[in-house]
Structure 1
């Protein structure tokens, strides 16, 4: 992980930073589209990964409903075993 990413300030209250890592830009965009159906968000930013692949970043507004799926997300419970991957902080 890039040390500079650890120094990234937290997003403002009610917002979340989403990072998607995929083998192709198309796969990353498809996942971002699903996220944007649930939450209002900013324009995505994508970066190539060393050795291939794409990392896509977007900021979502968790307080603004972007579609009907939002109500399900608001009432669902977190799955067990969720949490950061070993390489995430």
Structure 2
């Protein structure tokens, strides 16, 4: 049975991002792109259970920059989206 993790939601205007990658380099590359788009990235990395890398970021979505600003302005939330099967 899988245990669920109790989390405190991020403060308003912020988002928690989880990156799971096969290598630390791949996780850092994705995090770097996010840092170019959003301010306030706080990074934490953890070893995964199967030799993978898990990297968690907190980003400030209230002040998007560069590509994120134009993408966010033009996007709408897709219908039928929600948590992944392994998330609560």
- TM-score, normalized by length of structure 2? 0.82
The alignment partner of 1:85 has SS state of: coil
- TM-score, normalized by length of structure 1? 0.81
1:22-41 correspondence to structure 2 within 5 Å: 22-41=21-40
1:4-83 correspondence to structure 2 within 5 Å: 6-79=5-78, 82-83=81-82
Q: Which consecutive unaligned segments of at least 5 residues does structure 1 have?
A: none
Q: Which consecutive unaligned segments of at least 5 residues does structure 2 have?
A: none
1:76 Cα deviation from its structure 2 partner: 1.5
